[in-house]
Amino acid sequence: MRAIVPGPAAGEVVTLDEPLSLWGGYDPESGLIVDGAHPQFGLSLSGKIVVMAHGRGSSSSSSVLAESLRLGTGPAALVLAEPDQILVVGSLVARLLYGKVCPVYVGDPGAVNGTYVELNTGEESLGEP
């Protein structure tokens, strides 16, 4: 795995069965999936290592990710199959404004849904933007 927003993370792995648009699909107040059409509707992503193939839908998802990190309801880390600027920027802005780090990795986490994992790429931080 490659870190596109570096940093360590630990938590339960949640593998999304379908891509999720955080905007309209994820409630930053509760940390729950609220997209009724998503197969994991109602599931909490708070503190989880969220594995998703790629982002989907709204360009507002950066804001929703940053807001959930501000509120402390956000994921512990994101693991994507492909890099996604929208999620990277949401994570970086939360770090800039609030010092909240939500690493974003690209690749196969090699971990099974529901297991607890610790991620640490050992890379230096990019530095504060």
Partner 1 sequence: MLLTEEDRARLNGEAGEATRIAMELVLAAGEAVGAGSLLDITGAHVDSCLYHGLASLDFAERLSGAGGAVTVPTTLNVTSLDLLHPELYRGDEVIAARARKLIDAYVAMGCRPTWTCAPYQLVDRPRLGDQVAWGESNAIVYANSVLGARTNRYGDFLDICCALTGRVPYVGLHTDEGRRATVRVDVEVPDSWLDDDLLYVAVGHSLGKSVGTEVAVITGLDDRADEDRLKALGAVAASSGAVGMFHVEGVTPEAATLGDACQGRPVERVVTLDPGTVRAVVTGLSSTTTGLGAVSVGTPHASLAELESLASLCSGRRTMVPFYVSTARDILATAGAAAEVIEAFGATIVTDTCTYLSPILEPPDGAVMTNSGKWAYYAPANLGVEVVLASLSDCVESAVGGETVLGSWA
Q: How far is the CB of 64 from partner 1 (least distance, A)?
A: 6
> Quick one: 37 or 112, whose CB is closer to partner 1?
37
Q: How far is the CB of 26 from partner 1 (least distance, A)?
A: 10
- 58 among known catalytic residues: yes
> Quick one: 107 or 115, whose CB is closer to partner 1?
107
Instruction: Spell out the residues 6+ positions from residue 7 whose beta carbon is closer than 8 angstroms to its own.
Output: 77, 101, 102, 103, 125
Q: Which of 44, 58, 60, 63 is catalytic?
A: 58
- 129, 28 Cβ separation under 8 angstroms: no
Q: Provide, for the chain, the percentages of residues in helix, strand and coil under a 3-state DSSP scheme, each rounded to the nearest 5.
A: 20, 25, 55
**Catalytic residue numbers?**
58
